[in-house]
Amino acid sequence: DTAVSQTPKYLVTQMGNDKSIKCEQNLGHDTMYWYKQDSKKFLKIMFSYNNKELIINETVPNRFSPKSPDKAHLNLHINSLELGDSAVYFCASSHKRGTLGYTFGSGTRLTVV
């Protein structure tokens, strides 16, 4: 199936731990994104990569570090997790600037306890 796949689906961890979320797309898209959805369902962009190059880096704590080994993969590593990091994180991809639409993964629900 052509899709955006992210793992894990659920992640429960203690404060202070370091964790990673992986994302892969087989749609042939050249741009990938990380979005954070808060408890009120608001989606906010965090990062965007185009052909492995970082092009958007919103105001995100530097505990969050994206890595794109190739244009089909975009991983998110989070250091020293805090309670406020609990949210659903979505990976997405698009052609170029995404003017015609994004394809989203099914999300990773991160709970920090």
Partner 1 sequence: TQLLEQSPQFLSIQEGENLTVYCNSSSVFSSLQWYRQEPGEGPVLLVTVVTGGEVKKLKRLTFQFGDARKDSSLHITAAQPGDTGLYLCAGAPDSWGKLQFGAGTQVVVTP
Q: Which residues are at the interface with partner 1 (CB under 8 A)?
A: 4, 31, 33, 40-45, 48, 50, 55-56, 90, 92, 94, 97-107
Tokens of 67: 């890595």
Beta strand 108-112 pairing with 10-13: parallel
Residue 57: CB minimum distance to partner 1, A: 11
Q: Which is nearer to partner 1, 44 or 79 (CB)?
A: 44
Q: Rounded distance, CA 113 to CA 104, Å?
A: 27
Closer CB to partner 1, 14 or 39, in the complex: 39
| Cα(19)–Cα(103) distance, integer angstroms | 24
Q: How far is the CB of 99 from partner 1 (least distance, A)?
A: 5
Cβ proximity to partner 1, 88 vs 112, nearer residue: 88
Closest approach, Cβ 50 to partner 1, in A, equals 7
Question: CA 7 → CA 49, 56, 58, distances in Å?
Answer: 19, 22, 23
